[in-house]
Structure 1
Amino acid sequence: MRMLATCVTAILLSLGAVHADPSQWRAEWPDTDFTRSTVDFAEIISGGPPKDGIPAIWNPALIAAQSEQRLDAREPVLTYAPEHGPARAYPIRYLMWHEIVNDVVDGLPIAVTYCPLCNSAMVFDARIDGQRLTFGVSGKLRHSDMIMYDRETKSWWQQAVGKGVVGQHAGTQLMQLPAWMEDWASFLTEHPDGLVMDEPDWRRAYGSNPYVNYDTSSRPFLYQGEDPPHGINPLERVVRVENRAWPFARLREKGEIREAGVMLDWRAGQASALDARDIASGRDVGSVRVRDEQGRDIAHDVPFAFAFHAFFPDGVWMLGD
């Protein structure tokens, strides 16, 4: 099995190198401005599916959280709590198969995103200069992270940092909004009047994990970059706040950490979405809530260590004493 995976990786990487010349992409992307780029095209490879082969969701249906019967208490959801109106939970069981949900909450267009290969789950303000953008999945990867595209200009965006990398919006930054991954039971407890995304009308194996044992494997899939420093396992989860990263192993040991103006609280109860075939049966990796010194939720991410190192090579590793 490992030898087969290695061969598949090598083939896909070689295909990516062949298609590094943007002229090879123009047939599929005739409206993308490839003269504008902030990255090396050689770093961009095919992830396998074509453009929209992983279908993003537009205008998701939502139901009252109390009426949801399909989710297990331990299943992970991505929670977004707007200033006005009920909090919303976006189950990872759906994001696993769609990766992007385009929604409007309290009048604000948002992009709810999840890249399984990096475990990067973030919510962005989907406006640039007041214009709403709607996002799809390009089928391309860079450092194993999803490259999104916007339907309005066909620009490409790096999901892990929310930044345009190719096209009209190359160099443009999306605003990340406070959101966090937690277990379904915790969402219900804190937001009994909340809403949850309903099951999409697609034929997908919702609730199952197509990346069995991924977060305990020896190497990230389709990643050829450097390993993180300090002997940190490439697939160790970290909490990223701007350019700082706290390893999950340290958080589990301490339970809570207060430093650098950030308060981090870890609690057990969340199943890993990238462990067992059945997401609800995944091992307990726990959840982290991240707040500032005033107790306000702040924007953060929980990627794998390799992804933090790839996109923040000069980032600060918060290792403690």
Structure 2
Amino acid sequence: MPQVASSNPALWEREWPQTDFNNTSVSDWGEILSGGPPKDGIPALSDPRFLNASDETRIHDREPVITVEIKVQEPRAYPIRYLMWHEIVNDQIGGTPVAVTFCPLCNSGLVFDRRVNGELRTFGVSGKLRNSDMVMYDRETESWWQQAVGQGIVGAHTGDTLTQLPAWMESWAEYTARNPEGLVMDEPNWSRAYGQNPYQNYDSSRRPFLYRGENPPHDIPPLMRVVRVGSQAWPMERLAKAGEITESGVRINWTSGQASALDKANIGASKDVGTIRVYDAESGANVPHDVMFAFAFHAFWPDGTWMLGK
């Protein structure tokens, strides 16, 4: 696990000379920790290579992938076995530039449009964490962005919000069954233990790593997965028991078959956490959402609504 270094904006200014630290929405610098790796120590990817799904033989059927399906474009799967080690993939799907992101410490997998106020941005990993969530940065202005909420928090883009695109985590078997002719990101040309989980047993921990905030209410375990839609969160335990829930304008399905990325050392051999799909209750359209840990939802949405079904 990364080692904690104290927050020190004066030192950060030496590492980030182009970042305007006077322009920020962060009221307490103590919320931001250096997680160990320096800027770009976790190397984000750009312009990845793709294979036809039928040609991919390395991924276990139960391994999670982030699926992006944009109309008129071939579906694409971004395996968590690669995002575990790179956290951000800058890509272009047809006319849509996307950033596919995954924060292991929060289990937060989000896909954003990379255009900000009409200008293209390319994202990297800052090496900083806030509430255990990855702080991204854009290479053009070196502004800092909070991954879980898609918002600029330091620098020129403070207050700007990235557009989240509909995407979801599912098992490799689920993706290929629906998209046998779809695409999958090829293995990056880096020396990494792809398919292995460096955060072994993390989602069974009592307390999140590098987190200083309070625990969620209602006796919800900090590392229980919740499905976030806007500022509402549904506990995964409730969804797994029901199978399908329709309320608050959305229909949420849970099906078994997807392995946790944060359990055993071998991702494909890890426990079943299930796959979530979220649809608009009226139109049936895919709805942007996140499957994150409960502590992270409480940290970033302290006044959010817990959909407990009571």
Q: CA RMSD in A?
A: 1.0
Aligned-residue offset at 1:23: 1.7
Matches within 5 A, 1:118-137: 118-137=106-125
Structure 1: tracts of 5 or more residues without a match: none
Q: Identity of paired residues, percent?
A: 61
Q: Does 1:187 align with 2:175?
A: yes
C-alpha distance in structure 1 between counterparts of 2:222 and 2:209, whole Å: 11
- What amino acid is the match of 1:34? F
Aligned-residue offset at 1:191: 1.0
C-alpha distance in structure 2 between counterparts of 1:148 and 1:105, whole Å: 21
Aligned-residue offset at 1:83: 1.2
Match of 1:112 in 2: 100
C-alpha distance in structure 1 between counterparts of 2:73 and 2:25, whole Å: 38
Q: Does 1:29 align with 2:19?
A: no
- Where 1:302 maps in the other structure, the secondary structure is strand
Q: Can you list the C-alpha shifts for 1:71-103, whole angstroms capped at 9, x where unaligned?
A: 010000000001111110000000000000000
Aligned-residue offset at 1:64: 0.5
C-alpha distance in structure 2 between counterparts of 1:299 and 1:67, whole Å: 29
- What amino acid is the match of 1:311? F
Match of 1:95 in 2: 83
Aligned-residue offset at 1:229: 0.3
- Where 1:121 maps in the other structure, the secondary structure is strand
- Where 1:27 maps in the other structure, the secondary structure is helix
Q: Can you list the C-alpha shifts for 1:196-237, whole angstroms capped at 9, x where unaligned?
A: 000000000000000000000111000010100000000000
- What amino acid is the match of 1:155? S
Match of 2:6 in 1: 16
C-alpha distance in structure 2 between counterparts of 1:30 and 1:187, whole Å: 43
C-alpha distance in structure 2 between counterparts of 1:191 and 1:130, whole Å: 32
Aligned-residue offset at 1:107: 1.5
Q: Can you list the C-alpha shifts for 1:280-318, whole angstroms capped at 9, x where unaligned?
A: 011000000000021110100000000000000000000
Matches within 5 A, 1:49-88: 49-88=37-76
User: What is the TM-score normalised by the length of structure 1?
Assistant: 0.95
Match of 1:317 in 2: 306
Q: Can you list the C-alpha shifts for 1:114-166, whole angstroms capped at 9, x where unaligned?
A: 00000000000000121110000000000000000000000000000000000
> Number of matched residues?
308
C-alpha distance in structure 1 between counterparts of 2:71 and 2:305, whole Å: 31
Aligned-residue offset at 1:261: 0.5
Instruction: Write out the 4+ residue segments of structure 1 that deviate beyond 6 Å after TM superposition.
Output: none
Q: Does 1:306 align with 2:310?
A: no
- What amino acid is the match of 1:263? R
C-alpha distance in structure 1 between counterparts of 2:299 and 2:117, whole Å: 29
Match of 2:286 in 1: 297
- What amino acid is the match of 1:320? G
- Where 2:17 maps in the other structure, the secondary structure is coil
Further displaced range: 39-48 or 254-263: 39-48
Match of 1:240 in 2: 228
